[in-house]
Amino acid sequence: MILDAKVPDGPLEAKWDRHRDHLKLVSPANKRKYTVIVVGTGLAGASAAASLGELGYQVLSFCFQDSPRRAHSIAAQGGINAAKNYPNDGDSVYRLFYDTIKGGDFRAREANVYRLAQVSASIIDQCVAQGVPFAREYGGYLANRSFGGAQVSRTFYARGQTGQQLLLGAYSALMRQASTGRVKILPRREMLDLVVVDGVARGIVVRNLVTGGLETYVADAVCLATGGYANVFYLSTNAKGCNVTAAWRAHRRGAFFANPCYTQIHPTCIPVAGDYQSKLTLMSESLRNDGRVWVPKTPGDTRRPEQIPEAERDYFLERKYPSFGNLVPRDVASRNAKEQCDAGKGIGPGGRGVYLDFSDAIKRDGLAAIRERYGNLFDMYHEITAEDAYTVPMRIYPAPHYTMGGLWVDYNLMSNLPGLFVLGEANFSDHGANRLGASALMQGLADGYFILPYTIGDYLASAKLTALDTDHASFRDAEREVSERLSRLLAIKGKRTVDSFHRELGVMLWNQCGMARNEAGLKELLQRIPALREEFWENVTVPGSPGTLNQTLERAGRVADFLEFAELLVLDALERRESCGGHFREESQTEEGEALRDDEHFCHVAAWEFRGVGETPVLHKEPLTFTNVSLAQRSYK
């Protein structure tokens, strides 16, 4: 099968405009005849559902949380990029495009990234109009800050709660549509299968998490905005509920999964404190604007940070990357932290941490300024660690944070399954092998507000869809399969808890498929993961019944999918014998230890086709061609 990305012809700058000019339209009177399912209510899902409702489509909006407002986009702290050039520092659509594609280590589709940069400015306009309280200057105009991977200030922010404010903006738009009846909100429902009829996505099976009942829904198109899979590592900065199930179920039904090995390990998280730990807490990357990262020069130095004189500290990012310093992209910052810790210079419990020191910034700008910028982050750090970062340097360590891989989509955000659209973190499209800070919010909202509402119309106007109801065999079959799977999980009645399997899987992946990967380790994982999965299906215990709120059953289903998905992630990592962005293969590095791409063999998207659990999936390659940028070795020196 040849993957057709459907990238429009023409010069890069004109592709999106021309494409929009020629998309088919659904007339206003006909829009209400179409039903669209949107799964997930994060930035991408909420913005898409709201915008589709505004256009007049009938929208069914699903989320597993008790309210759409709780989707994990809410936790994004730092900001959102946009090529507004308000600070007059030379930013432009092209620069944002170039920074993003370079930050992604040239593994993203050029046309998608350019479009992302193009619509970025409209996102800010939309959010301001919704009442998002972005930070402002005294003149009343919008303020910007700088962020990792860029030499201009183009990041808009609302204190350390940008994701929350943007999500509440999208949520309010969604609630407005709910009040008109055009969007129906269906919370506390988890998608457990995609229904495909004659090769076209036509509906979903969900479990009503309150009653435990299975429900099926028919639609003319299905949009997945179900986030990323960083929780495959068990410990990550993601919310506990984040999972791969919706995407994985769609994959099992035929949607290709692209680049699963592209995972982002965020450099500034609070280090692990103990084995009971349930999640890792991110400290916004914006902290690197003012904080300086260092470790003691001598391995095994156990003195307190304030007792280590300046000359005996190694500000390793500033030393190695003089022009970007502490603001190198996330993958570079993370890998360097790991390198220092591997060399025995790590600090804190288990030597798994580096310092992020604000004392110079406090001396320079004053305590009040730092408090205003990062107050809530410092408070959060204090609550968790009982340490005061105003007086003692923070301890940070990398943690899984974001996943660039996801379901394969074309330029219209449609997967290879007609009628299945994938938005936001759940798709693979715009960040290549590494995402820059403040770009996830941008992509989620770009997809939901400004791309999908156009492209879905083109699909609906041209697709020949037959009328269906949930009595159709495909719906009945899908519902039965889901029901059987749930019954099977409940019937095992083994000895081990769901979490113990999840933890074991997470540790395995973190050690051998985390910040650095090699062939031997990956091959070992390909033996160990199926074995763990087998044990799971024989020895897991899931108490309770299916016909009620059963949180263990919810987790069991998610972990079962992670156990299948993890194998694909590892296989993809093994197959990609180059280093790029967040994917670092130890076999492929420069003499200085930097990631070394192999453009000759791996300048492609790896899209995997499911062939059955335990069966080798089929690899489809979408070649990446770059006509406007030259593939350079990334350098932040």
Partner 1 sequence: MDLTLKVWRQAGPKEKGRLVTYEAKGIPEDASFLEMLDIVNSRLEAQGEEPIAFDHDCREGICGSCGCMINGRPHGPGQGITTCQLYMRKFHHGDTIVIEPFRARAFPVVKDLVVARSAFDKIIQAGGFISVNTGSAPEANTIPVPKPNAEAAMDAAACIGCGACVATCKNASAVLFVSAKISHLALLPQGEPERERRALAMVAAMDAAGFGHCSNEGECEAECPKGISLVNIARLNREHLRATVRK
Partner 2 sequence: MQSVAERGTLTAPRPAVRGTGKHGVMAFSSILKKVAMALTGLGMFLFLIGHLAGNLLLLKGPDSFNGYAAFLAKIPLVVPVEIGLLLLALLHIASAVSVTLGNWTARPQRYAVKRTAGSSTFASRTMWIGGLVLAVFIPLHVWMFKYGDHHGPQELYGLVMRSFQNPLIAFGYAFAMIPLGLHLSHGFASAFQTLGINRPRLRPRLRAAGAVLGWLIALGFLVLPFWGFFGQ
Task: Extract the tokens encoding 202.
Answer: 């036509």
Residue whose CB is less far from partner 1, 86 or 98: 86
Return the SS3 of 222. Answer: strand
The closest alpha carbon to 259, from 587, 576, 597, belongs to: 576
Q: Is 485 in the site for partner 2 (CB under 8 A)?
A: no
Q: CB-wise, 175 or 362, nearer to partner 1?
A: 175
Query: Which of the residues 368 through 387 are near partner 1 (CB under 8 A)?
Result: 379-380, 383-384, 386
Find the shortest distance in angstroms from Cβ 5 to partner 1: 25
φ, ψ (nearest 5 deg) of residue 454 = -80, -50
Q: How far is the CB of 602 from partner 2 (least distance, A)?
A: 44
Answer yes or no whether residue 171 interacts with partner 2 by CB under 8 A: no
The two tokens of residue 577 are: 């014998």
Question: By CB under 8 A, which span of 147-155, 290-298, 498-506, 508-516 interacts with partner 1?
Answer: 498-506
* 8 A C-beta contact, residue 251 and residue 229: no
Nearer to partner 1, 142 or 629 (CB): 142
Specify the amino acid at residue 626: F
Instruction: Tokens for 623, please give them.
Output: 């070649």
476 is known as an active-site residue: no
Tell me if 440 contacts partner 1 by CB under 8 A.
Answer: no
Residue in 86, 94, 98, 537 binding partner 1, rule: CB under 8 A: 86
- Tell me how many residues contact partner 1 (CB under 8 A): 86
Q: Does residue 195 belong to the site contacting partner 2 (CB under 8 A)? A: no
Site for partner 1 in 132-161 (CB under 8 A): 133-142, 158-159, 161
383 sits near partner 2 (criterion: CB under 8 A) = no
Find the binding residues for partner 1 in span 181-240 (CB under 8 A). 185, 187, 210, 239-240
> In whole angstroms, how close is the CB of 379 to partner 2 at the nearest point?
18
Give me the residue label for tokens 């293969």. 585
Q: Pick one of partner 1, partner 2, none as the site partner of residue 470 (Cβ within 5 to 8 A by kind).
A: partner 2
By three-state DSSP, how is residue 228 classified? coil
Instruction: Give the C-alpha separation, 201 to 196, whole Å.
Output: 4
Overall residue count recorded for the chain in this entry: 637
Q: Does 531 bind partner 1 (CB under 8 A)?
A: no
**Any bridge partners for residue 604, and if so which?**
623
- Please identify, among the stretches 151-159, 325-333, 448-456, 471-479, the one whose residues bind partner 2 according to the rule CB under 8 A: 471-479
Q: Which does 213 bind (CB under 5 to 8 A by kind): partner 2, partner 1, none?
A: partner 2
Q: Is 181 in the site for partner 2 (CB under 8 A)?
A: yes
Binding status of residue 182 toward partner 2 by CB under 8 A: yes
User: What does the per-residue mask of binding to partner 2 show for 58-97, with x meaning CB under 8 A?
Assistant: x-x-------------------------------------
Q: Rounded to 5 degrees, what are φ and ψ at 557? A: -60, -40
Tell the smallest beta-carbon distance from residue 370 to partner 2 (Å): 24
Q: Which is nearer to partner 2, 469 or 592 (CB)?
A: 469
Residue 258 and residue 605 in contact, taking contact as beta carbons nearer than 8 Å? yes
**In the bound complex, what is the minimum distance in angstroms from residue 191's beta carbon to partner 1?**
17
Binding status of residue 176 toward partner 2 by CB under 8 A: yes
Establish if 462 lies at the interface with partner 2 (CB under 8 A).
no
Q: Residues 274 to 333: which contact partner 1 by CB under 8 A?
A: 274, 276-279, 281-282
470-490: string of b/e by CB count within 10 Å (b at 16+)?
Answer: bebebbeebbeebeeebeebb
Distance of CA 418 to the CA centre of its chain: 23
Strand order in the sheet with 189-197: 189-197, 200-208, 214-218
CA distance to 43, 172, 263, 373, per residue, from 80 (Å): 12, 19, 20, 16
Binder of partner 2 out of 75, 108, 124, 219 (CB under 8 A): 219
The verdict on 492 binding partner 1 (CB under 8 A) reads no
* Pairing relationship of beta strands 292-296 and 354-357 according to DSSP bridges: antiparallel
Residue nearer to partner 1 on the CB measure, 276 or 615: 276
Contacts of 332 (CB under 8 A, 6+ apart): 321, 594, 636
Assign 3-class secondary structure to 305-366. Answer: HHHCCHHHEECHHHHHCCCCHHHCCHHHHHHHHHHHHHCCCCCCHHHCCEEEECHHHHHHHC
Over its C-alpha atoms, the chain yields an Rg (Å, rounded) of: 24
Q: Which residues bind partner 2 (CB under 8 A)?
A: 35, 58, 60, 176, 179-182, 184, 211, 213-219, 468-471, 475, 479, 483
Catalytic residue ranges:
330
